[in-house]
Amino acid sequence: MPGLPGLKGDKGDQGDNGRDGAPGQQGENGRDGAPGQQGENGRDGAPGQQGEHGRDGAPGQQGEHGRDGAPGQQGENGRDGAPGQQGERGRDGAPGQQGERGQDGAPGQQGERGRDGAPGQQGDKGDKGDNGSNGRDGAPGLKGDKGDKGDPGDRGQKGDQGDRGPSGMADIRVVTNPGNSSDHSAVVNCPDGFYAIGGGGQSSSNSLNDSSPAVNPNGKPVGWKVKAQNGTPTAFAICAPTA
C-alpha cells in the first residue's frame, strides 16, 4: 500500500537552468510508488519524451491554507440581479421649505357645461309693455259648410210675349229600317237637318231588349236603335227639323 504523503517542504531558491540533456529512451510505465517527501525544487531538466499516462495516484491530504494571493484584475460587470422585493414604506420626511412661486401655467381647456341651476324665485310683475305692431294677416280659413236653403224669392214680373214659333206638325217625319238577323238589332237614322224626338221598334218575337236614341259625336239624337232577344227587329224614328 502507498504511504502517507509527506509534509510540504519550503520552496527552494530558483536554480540556474542546466544544459539540456540528451533525450532518454521511453521507458515502460512503472508502478506508482509511494509519494515521497517534498524535496527541494531542483533545476529544470531537459524535457523528456511524452510518457504514457500514469494511473491516478491516491488523493493527498489537505494542505495548509496558503497565503492570500495578490488582488486580481477587475472582472467584468456581472449581469443585473433579479429585482428585489418591495421594501417597507419609509417614514415621511420633514416638510420642505416654501418654494418660489411658479410661473402661470397655460390656460386650461374649456370645461364641460355645468348643470342648470335651480329655478329662481318668482320676480315681481313688470310694467305693462307698449302695444305691439300689427301682426301679418293670417292664412285664409277653410271653406265653411253650405248654408241653409234661403226663403223663396218674390214672384217675378210677367215676361213679354215671345215670337211665334214654327208649326210643330208641318215637318214631322217617321222613318223605318229593318234590322239584321245575325245580331237581332236594327238602327234607323233621321234625314239630314232632322233630330229624333222619339222612336221604337218591333220584332217577330215581340221581345225587345233595348230601345234608345242613336246619338252623333256631339250628343244629338239623330236616329233610333233597337235590339231584340231573337228574330229580325225593325226600328222606327220620329224626326223633326233642327230649326
What pLDDT digit, counting tens, does each position of 108-140 carry?
A: 588 687 577 677 677 678 678 677 676 576 677
Domain assignment present for residue 189? The answer is: yes
What pLDDT digit, counting tens, does each position of 221-230 carry?
A: 999 999 998 8
> Looking at residue 166, what is its pLDDT?
53
What domain range is 213 assigned to? Answer: 173-241
Domain assignment present for residue 232? The answer is: yes
Report residue 101's pLDDT band, with 50, 70 and 90 as the boundaries.
Answer: confident
Domain assignment present for residue 194? The answer is: yes
Any residues with CB less than 8 A from the CB of 175 and at least 6 apart, and which?
188, 189, 190, 191, 236, 237, 239
Domain assignment present for residue 223? The answer is: yes
Domain assignment present for residue 73? The answer is: no
Q: How far apart are CA 223 and CA 200, in angstroms?
A: 10
Work out whether strand 221-228 and strand 185-189 pair parallel, antiparallel, or are unpaired: antiparallel
pLDDT(200) > 80 = yes
Domain assignment present for residue 83? The answer is: no
Domain assignment present for residue 192? The answer is: yes
Any residues with CB less than 8 A from the CB of 14 and at least 6 apart, and which?
41
DSSP string, the chain: -PPPPPPPPPPPPPPPPPPPPPPPP----PPPPPP----------PPPP-PPPPPPPPPPPPPPPPPPPPPPPPPPPPPPPPPPPPPPPPPPPPPPPPPPPPPPPPPPPPPPPPPPPPPPPPPPPPPPPPPPPPPPPPPPPPPPPPPPPPPPPPPPPPPPPPPPPPPSSSS-EEEEEE-BTTTTEEEEEPPTTEEEEEEEEE-TTS-EEEEEEEE-TTS-EEEEEEEESSS--EEEEEEEE--
Domains contained in the chain, number? 1
Mean pLDDT of the region 226-242? 92
Grid cell 229600317 is found at 177
What pLDDT digit, counting tens, does each position of 161-191 carry?
A: 756 555 555 589 999 999 888 889 999 999 9
Domain assignment present for residue 51? The answer is: no
What pLDDT digit, counting tens, does each position of 3-33 carry?
A: 676 777 777 777 777 677 677 677 676 576 5
pLDDT(55) > 70 = yes
Residues 193, 198, 199, 200: what is their CA dihedral angle, to the nearest 10 degrees? 160
